[in-house]
Amino acid sequence: MTAHQLDRRPFLRAAGALIASAALPRLPAYAADTRVATPRQTAGPFYPTRFPDDVDNDLVVVAGRPRPAEGQVVHLAGQVLDRDGRPVRGARVEIWQCDIHGRYHHVDSSWQTQRSDDNFQGYGRTVTDDAGTYRFRTIRPVAYSGRTPHIHVAVAGTGIERLVTQMYLAGEPLNERDPVLSHIRDPRARQAVTVAFEAADTREPGALGARFDIVLG
């Protein structure tokens, strides 16, 4: 073997490494950064002033009611994580939203003139498992006067500073004019509360599925 052939080895190894790396998918520039904390948002005036008798993670079926709630069923799930991506077990996760007619339940409703769907629970609560996972069965949120469709979310528990936020539908045209969402100027933070709703027929015919991971800051 000549000295010239020996000298070419480092070059060939470097070239091979470059070709191999080019074949891999490029990660976003922020992939190595610390996770984006889920931004805090207002609870609004609609957090329940009293809780429903049936408090669980299925808002579609209410104990004692004759039929399920109106609206398209959504299977909502996700993980509660810390900034390093570690799951947070035992966190209490709450959601609340209006029914298909745009009416909130368990609040002062004297000003709400639209009829209500009494078969919708309106509020749900669950606790994360060892993997930090939570699950809800609810309906696709709808718009009401002045607001884009959204679901309110709160997370609390031992050693957790209570986080209140809101979850929005990806691709919803009203998002651009929503007065609450517009307060989030950072594109990454805005993306963190915007969720894609996709068909989930394997879970339930005609249902949607959505994943909303919550990163505690």
The CATH number that applies at residue 104 is: 2.60.130.10
60: number of Cβ within 10 Å: 21
Please give the span between the terminal C-alpha atoms of the chain, in angstroms, as a whole number.
60
**H or E element at residue 81:** strand 73-81
Identify whether 49 is part of a domain.
yes
DSSP tag of 66: S
| Encoded tokens for 100 | 């298909």
Identify whether 159 is part of a domain.
yes
Q: Which domain holds residue 62?
A: 28-215
Q: Model-level pTM greater than 0.85?
A: no
Identify whether 34 is part of a domain.
yes
Extract the residue ranges of the chain whose pLDDT is less than 50. 1-33
Supply the pLDDT for residue 111. 64
Supply the pLDDT for residue 108. 80
Identify whether 98 is part of a domain.
yes
Identify whether 15 is part of a domain.
no
For Cα atoms 94, 97, 101, give the angle at the middle one, nearest 5 degrees. Answer: 160
Identify whether 117 is part of a domain.
yes
Supply the pLDDT for residue 35. 84
Q: Which of 102, 124, 105 is nearest to 58 (CA)?
A: 124
Domains in the chain, number: 1
Residues 6+ apart with CB under 8 A from 118: 62, 65
Identify whether 79 is part of a domain.
yes
Supply the pLDDT for residue 38. 98
Supply the pLDDT for residue 212. 98
Identify whether 207 is part of a domain.
yes
Q: Is the dihedral of CA 52, 56, 57, 63 positive or negative?
A: negative
Q: How do beta strands 123-127 and 92-96 pair?
A: antiparallel
